[in-house]
């Protein structure tokens, strides 16, 4: 849960063309996320997530400035390719955002 980011999730949700469906499903997801967050804090007695695991909390805080832009690039790639046919270049770029490294990734795709 500490790794989740609803702001980034909303960017992915924006890929859903049906606005009513998008808003209905995202609202359910957001409500469940907040409810779960509250329950975890209640059960653990913590004031914030991972306050009992400072090493992991720090790791997540340090990685987000690198991971978040990759997520936004991934959303942009998905948005751009929507009307097009999937190409080897597009698959390579998308896979690089998932892996967060363009090196050493082998991709098989029809050009």
Confidence at residue 85, expressed as pLDDT on a 0 to 100 scale:
64
Q: How many Å apart are CA 3 and CA 59, to the nearest integer?
A: 10
Confidence at residue 100, expressed as pLDDT on a 0 to 100 scale:
65
Confidence at residue 83, expressed as pLDDT on a 0 to 100 scale:
65
What's the distance, CA 74 to chain centroid?
A: 9
Confidence at residue 99, expressed as pLDDT on a 0 to 100 scale:
74
Confidence of residue 108 (pLDDT cuts 50, 70, 90): very low
pLDDT tens, residue by residue, 3-34: 999 999 999 999 999 999 999 999 999 999 99
Confidence at residue 103, expressed as pLDDT on a 0 to 100 scale:
43
pLDDT tens, residue by residue, 63-98: 888 888 888 988 988 888 776 667 777 777 777 777
Q: Taking a C-beta distance cutoff of 8 angstroms, is the pair 1, 37 a contact?
A: yes
* pLDDT > 70? residue 104: no
- For residue 74, CA distances in Å to 1, 29, 33, 80, 93 come to 21, 20, 22, 10, 8
Confidence at residue 93, expressed as pLDDT on a 0 to 100 scale:
79
- For the chain, the domains span 6-99
What's the distance, CA 9 to chain centroid?
A: 6
Stronger pLDDT, 60 or 88, i.e. the higher one: 60
């Amino acid at each position: 849960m500490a790794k989740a980011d609803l702001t980034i999730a909303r960017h992915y949700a924006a890929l859903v063309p049906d606005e009513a469906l998008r808003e209905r499903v995202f609202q359910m997801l957001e409500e469940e996320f907040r409810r779960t967050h509250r329950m975890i804090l209640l059960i653990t007695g913590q004031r914030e997530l991972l306050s009992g695991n400072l090493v992991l909390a720090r790791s997540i805080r340090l990685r987000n400035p690198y991971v978040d832009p990759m997520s936004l690039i991934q959303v942009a790639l998905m948005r751009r390719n929507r009307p097009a046919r999937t190409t080897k270049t597009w698959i390579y770029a998308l896979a690089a955002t998932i892996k967060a490294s363009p090196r050493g990734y082998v991709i098989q795709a029809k050009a």
